[in-house]
Amino acid sequence: SVNPDIASERQTASFSVEKLTARLDGGAEQTRMRRAVVEAIECDPEFSRENQYFQSQNERYEAAVRKATHLQKKMREMGWTEDGPEYKYIYRALSGDVAFLLHRIFMRSISVLGSDEQIAKWIPLASQYRLIGSYAQTELGHGTYLQGLETTAVFDSSTQEFILNTPKISAMKWWPGDMGRSATHTVAFAQLYIHGKCYGVHPFIVQIRSLQDHSLCPGITAGDIGPKMNFEHSDNGYLMLQNVRVPRENMLSKFCEVQPDGTYVRRGSQQINYFTMTTVRISLISDEVITPLMKACTIAIRYSVVRRQSKLKPGEQEAKILDYQTQQEKLLPQLAAVYAFHFINDYLQELFNRAYREIQRKNFDTLPELHASSSGFKALVSQHCTSGVEICLRACGGHGYSLLSGLPSLYTKIIASCIYEGENTILLLQTARFLIKCFMAASSGQPVPPSVTYLAAVKPGKCPAKNKLDFLSPDIYTEAFEHTAARLISSTAAELQDLVQSGVKKHDAWNRCTVQLAQAAKAHCHYITVKNFAETVERLETEAGIQKIMKHLCDLFALHGIFSNAGIFLHDGYLSGAQMDMVTASYLDLLAVIRKDAVPLVDAFDFTDKCLNSALGSYDGHVYQRLYEWAQKSPTNTQRSPAYERYLKPLLHNTLSKL
C-alpha cells in the first residue's frame, strides 16, 4: 500500500515518467539494461546495505572487500566486464560502497601512461586480481601542488633500478584508497632524479605487500590513516618508502622513458602525467556528485509530501510541507540543478571524447580547454551539489539528521568531492587562468576555442526584458549570464593589468585578484551550464510533456541563479532593480508550477528503495513506520550497555562512592 499523500502526487504528472527516465539513461534500451543490473545486484543478499548505518569502520571495510570479491564472481556469472556498459550501473547499484575502486584507477593509469609492453604485462595480472593495485600520489605535505611532491626516485644505472624514498614525514603518501590494508601494488608518483638532475614527477609501479602472505615488503611502512568523515568502507592508507628498489621497466613510459644509460626521452607533454586526474575528475562528476544530489532530492521531496506540519489555512488539515513556499524554495532549485548538471555532464563527456581521440594521436592541443573545463565544472558542480545535499538534509528537519534518512551519509561523502581530485578553489583559478588567456587572445583578434568566443565581444548593455514573462525567455536569461561572465572576466583582466602597470609584480597582482578570478571562473561555468540546458531543451522531443517540464526546470535553474547572485547582475546596471523584482516574481511563480510535478520528477531518477537506503525516501512514503522499525534494529537497542549496572544504578541507588 502506498501512502495516499504520495500516491496523489503521481496521478497528476504532466509528463511521462518512463519516457523521462529513458531520456536520462540515454535511451530505453539503456534503462532496460540498468534495471537488469540493479535487479541482479539487489536480489543478491551478499550486496545488501541494510545494516550499513549501524556498522563500524572495520565492519564497513570488511563488507566492502567481501562485496568486491563477490562482485568478481557475479560479473563472471552475468557476463559483465570491467569496461563493459554495465559497469556504471553496477557501481550505481552498489552506491560505490565496494573495495578495489583504486585498483581500477591503477589499471587506468597503466593503460593511459604505460607503454605497450607495460600494458601487456600488468593489465592481465590486474584484471585477474593476481595483484591489487592502488594509486599513490597525494602526500601528507602535498596535495594540489604536484610539483612539490617530495618522494624521490633516483635512477641507479649500475643496477638498472630506481631507488624510491619518502625522505621526510611530509613526503609520506597519505590518502590512497585500497592501500591501507588491501593493496599489493601501487602507482607511486615521485620526483625522478638521473645523475643528480631532477626531471619532475613521474609514475612508478611499486610492490608494497607480498603476494604470498601479504606482509609488507622490505623498506615499506604502510597502514590505514584512520577515521574519516565518510568512506569508512575504504582503507585510505599511508606509505613510507625507504630505499625501495624497482626495475627500470616499472616507470610508466608511454610519454617518457629513461634509457639504460640514463638518457631521458620525452615523447609528449609533461602535462599528460596528470591526464589520469583529468579523466577521474570528469567521471566523478556524474557518479560521485550528481547521483548523490539526485538521491537527496528524491528523499527530501518524497518526505516533503508525506510530512504534514502546521496549517496553510485556518481550520484546514495540516499542510504537506512541500506546499510551503520556503520548502519549495529549498528543494526545487536543487531539482532543477540536478537536471542542469546531468546535461552539462553530457557536454563534458563529449568534450572529453573528442580530446581523447586527439591525444591518442599524440595531438595535445585540446588539453588546455579540456583541463580548464573539467576543472571549472568539477568545482562548480561539486560545490553546488554539496550545498544542495545539505539543503535537502536540513529541509527534512530532525528526521534528515538521523543516519536512517540516508541524507547524512550522502552529505559526508559528497563534501569530499569538493576537495579530492583537485581542491575546488585551485581548480577555479586554473579555469580563470585559461579564461584570462583566452580573453587576451580574443581581444587581440586571435582564435579561441568555441566555448569562449563570447569573450571577444564584451560590451556594456542593458537587459531588454519589460515584464516578468520576458524572463521566461531563454535568450533573455542566457544573455544575462553571458554578459555577466564576460564582464567579470574582462574587469578582472583589466584590474590585473592595472596592478601590473602600476608596478606590482605579476604573481602578486595575480594573488591580489584571486577572489575575483574565482568568481569570474564560476560565472563562466554557470553561464555555459545555463546555455547548454537551454540548448538541450530545444533539442528535446516535444512529445509526452517532457520538453515543457524541462523548459520550466531550465527557467528555474536560470532565474534561481540570477536571484541568488543578484549583485553581479545589478552591478553595472545590466539588470535594474525593477527587473530584478520581475526575476523574483517569475522565479517564485515557477516554484508553484514545478511543485506540481516534483514527485514525478524525482521518480524519473528511478532509484530503488534499496539503492536509496533511506527511511524517509521510500517509494511508498511510509516514513514513520520505517523510522521506528529501523531504529529498533540499532545496536543501541539490540546490545545492552554496561552503563546501567556500572554507573546509573549506583547513582540512582545513591551508592556511588563518596556521593
By annotation, the residues acting in catalysis are 421
Three cell numbers at 93? 547499484
SS3 for 153?
A: strand
Footprint (CB under 8 A) of a copy of itself, residues 14-53: 53
Q: Is the dihedral of CA 372, 376, 378, 381 positive or negative?
A: negative
Chain residues 155-194 in contact with a copy of itself, contact rule CB under 8 A: 169-170, 172, 174-175, 180-182, 184
- Using CB under 8 A as the binding criterion, the count of chain residues that bind a copy of itself stands at 135
Query: From the list 84, 223, 268, 545, which residue makes contact with a copy of itself (rule: CB under 8 A)?
Result: 223
Report, in Å, the least distance between residue 34 CB and a copy of itself. Answer: 25
As a whole number of angstroms, the distance between CA 116 and CA 257 comes to 13
Annotate 385-423 with b (16+ C-beta within 10 A) or e (fewer).
Answer: bbbbbbbbbebbeebbebbbbbbbbbbbbbbbbbebbbe
Q: Which residue carries 539487489 as its cell?
A: 42
| CB nearer to a copy of itself: pick between 102 and 448 | 102
| 627 is a contact residue toward a copy of itself (CB under 8 A) | yes
Task: Name the residue type at position 486.
Answer: A
Give the span between the Cα atoms of 534 and 481, in whole angstroms: 12
Contacts to a copy of itself from residues 561-580, by CB under 8 A: 565-573, 577, 580
Residues 60-89 that bind a copy of itself (CB under 8 A): 61-62, 65-66, 68-69, 72-73, 76-77
Is residue 624 at the binding interface for a copy of itself, with CB under 8 A as the rule? yes
- Cβ 157 to a copy of itself, closest distance in Å? 31
Which region, judged by CB under 8 A, interacts with a copy of itself, from 186-194, 196-204, 422-430, 451-459?
A: 422-430
462 binds a copy of itself (CB under 8 A): no
Where in 331-370 is the site for a copy of itself (CB under 8 A)? none
Contact 435, 455 (CB under 8 A): yes
Give the footprint of a copy of itself on residues 481-520 (CB under 8 A): 505, 507-508, 511-516, 518
Do strands 185-194 and 152-156 pair parallel, antiparallel, or not at all (unpaired)? parallel
How many CA atoms does the CB half-sphere of 657 hold within 13 Å? 1
- Asked whether residue 503 is marked as a ligand-binding residue, the answer is no
* Separation CA 164–CA 156 (nearest Å): 11
Contact status: 433 vs a copy of itself (CB under 8 A)? no
Window of 263-271, 274-282, 323-331, 332-340 that interacts with a copy of itself by CB under 8 A = 323-331
Residue 244's H or E segment, with its range, is strand 244-247
Helix extents (H) in 470-576: 474-501, 506-512, 514-539, 546-564, 566-570
Q: Determine, following the binding rule CB under 8 A, whether residue 93 of this chain makes contact with a copy of itself.
A: no
Nearer to a copy of itself, 539 or 658 (CB): 658
Smallest separation, CB 349 to a copy of itself (Å): 27
Adjacent-strand bridge partners of 124:
none
Residue 5 makes contact with a copy of itself by CB under 8 A: no
412 binds a copy of itself (CB under 8 A): yes
**Which is closer to a copy of itself, CB of 272 or CB of 509?**
509
Give 68 or 556: the residue with its C-beta nearer to a copy of itself: 68
Task: With residue 107 as reference, give the H or E element that holds it.
Answer: helix 101-113
CA-CA distance, 562 to 525, in Å (whole number)?
14
Q: Output 61 or 343, the one with its CB closest to a copy of itself.
A: 61
138 is in an annotated binding site: yes
Binding residue ranges for FAD: 138, 177
Binding residue ranges: 138, 177
